[in-house]
Amino acid sequence: MNSQIYDVAIIGAGCCGASIARKLSAYEISVVLLEKCVDVGFGVTKANSGIIHAGFHHPITSLKARLEIRGNLMFDQLHYELGFPFKRVGIIVVAFSVEEMKTIEHLYSQGVANGVPRMEICGRERILSLEPQLNSDVVGGLYAPTGGIIEPYRYVFALVESAQKNGVEVKTQFTVEQGIREKDYWIVKSKEGETIKARYVVNSAGLFADEVSKSFDAELFEIIPRKGEEFLLQRNAKGLPNHVIFPVPGAHTKGILVIPTVEGTLMVGPTAIETDDKYDVETTSQNLETVFMQATYMVPAISRREIITSFAGLRPTMKGNDFYIEPSKKQPHFIQVAGIQSPGLTASPAIGDYVKDILKQEGLQLIEKKDFDPFLPHPIKVRELSFEELEKVVEKDPKYGHIVCRCESVSEAEIVEAISKGHATLDGIKFYTRAGMGRCQGAFCTYKILKIISRETGMPVEKITKRGDNSWIISQRLQALADEKAER
């Protein structure tokens, strides 16, 4: 057993865990980030819609509204420091009746109370001039220019990279099974057979926060997965709006959105359906119908012929629908960060700060690091370069001239970089670089990427996976098959 005792162990490397880890990396403490998946951000965060909410959906009496507003404001600085793609494209909520306009007025006054800057109530003419692609039946709506979009997984990758750069240790494929209180620290055991020790434990385990809490003999509560299905349409898709478009919200959901992603594709969704299976990320044909019916009602030009892929994710919801972020009342030095559903991504930077403050109140000594470096080098992305810039980059490293993923213009150098940062599965590379995320969905680049992974890591091709565990790609090399036959 490793004899080191970490000051803090964070369970779950989603947007909350990553944000907490990055925040804590600014202090003179030892931190370990534990993740059960093969890569960080591969749980709830991966399927997040990527909206940075403006902060008008929830009343200020809730914790989530306060963290949402604060989180929103923090994204410019984070974007500047970490370089993940982020755009404040603005959010529009569209109303199609006088009754819906009443809800718009309510959202507006809620937003004003929450401190959302520069919101507008729009009449028909104003809303159509902001968003000419809207169904012309629109009556009016709400415009919140501070809303934005990011790629959630790249946000998490950047947070974790920055945390690591400042000394945080990351352990993937560490599925927390049990926490045992010893003297003044926790012993945390993994299903994979590893054990670590930590003085404080933060439970940001997303869908599994209830199970983790139980395994630490802390509070008993239930995380109810609420499934959301999304459909991704190609770049320059018909109907691609300028802003994120919301319908007037329902009782529990913000509704089906039309999202211009930060990379220029179009996304529609998500649905909101409660399920009892934390692994249920199946998509269904009924929900495709629902999503497109609602999306095309707002933006008629959207065509389902332009779908390139669909996916589903699960929101970790709890009774009461607010975030549950507080020290355990049953166990010492155990902080619950649970029920972080929408707007969790928006709130996540503020959650990092909030949990840091809780830890301090709970007695953790926090001394600022003198050499904390908040910046990450901005990685080169061939698709973002002008031809002249590309020329300079290729002169330095010819691997930038080898386009491996033609659909998203990803070069070999970018893939090598992803692997060097520890993203050595097909999905890890896809989410890090976008290779395989475009219109051909990997048909032209999978074989190239397999070879690059194998070359860079020394891993035989048959050991490479899509996303860890049993997600193998190649059953066997033909040569091995031939050898087997010859032996027989």
Q: How many residues are there in the chain?
A: 488
Question: Does residue 475 interact with other proteins by CB under 8 A?
Answer: yes
Question: Does residue 80 interact with other proteins by CB under 8 A?
Answer: no
User: Which of 137, 192, 282, 373 forms a contact with other proteins (CB under 8 A)?
Assistant: 282
Closest CA to 13 of 159, 145, 118, 142: 159
Q: How far is the CB of 287 from other proteins (least distance, A)?
A: 8
Q: Which residue's CB is nearer to other proteins, number 369 or number 466?
A: 466
Residues numbered 429 to 468 that lie near other proteins (CB under 8 A) are 439-444, 446-447, 450-451, 461-462, 465-468
User: Which of 126, 181, 238, 399 forms a contact with other proteins (CB under 8 A)?
Assistant: 399
Q: Are 50 and 345 in contact (CB under 8 A)?
A: yes
Residues numbered 296 to 335 that lie near other proteins (CB under 8 A) are 304, 307-311
Question: Token match 């830890």: residue?
Answer: 359
- Provide the terminal-to-terminal Cα distance of the chain, rounded to the nearest Å: 44
Q: Which residue's CB is nearer to other proteins, number 100 or number 462?
A: 462
Q: How far is the CB of 144 from other proteins (least distance, A)?
A: 32
Question: Does residue 232 interact with other proteins by CB under 8 A?
Answer: yes
CB atoms near residue 442 (< 10 Å): 18
Q: Are 14 and 156 in contact (CB under 8 A)?
A: yes
User: Which of 274, 330, 476, 483 forms a contact with other proteins (CB under 8 A)?
Assistant: 476
CA distance 295 to 301: 10
The answer to whether residue 53 is catalytic is yes
User: Which of 281, 366, 380, 459 forms a contact with other proteins (CB under 8 A)?
Assistant: 281
CB atoms near residue 461 (< 10 Å): 15
What is the DSSP code (8-state) at residue 380?
P
Closest CA to 399 of 418, 375, 374: 418
What is the DSSP code (8-state) at residue 263?
T
CA distance 7 to 26: 13
Q: Which residue's CB is nearer to other proteins, number 80 or number 447?
A: 447
Q: How far is the CB of 64 from other proteins (least distance, A)?
A: 29
Q: How far is the CB of 394 from other proteins (least distance, A)?
A: 5
CA distance 271 to 232: 14
Instruction: Tell me the pairing of strands 5-11 and 195-203.
Output: parallel
Residues numbered 233 to 262 that lie near other proteins (CB under 8 A) are none
Q: How far is the CB of 320 from other proteins (least distance, A)?
A: 30
Contact residues toward other proteins (CB under 8 A) are: 231-232, 279, 281-285, 288, 304, 307-311, 387-388, 390-391, 394-395, 398-403, 406-407, 409, 412, 426, 439-444, 446-447, 450-451, 461-462, 465-479, 481
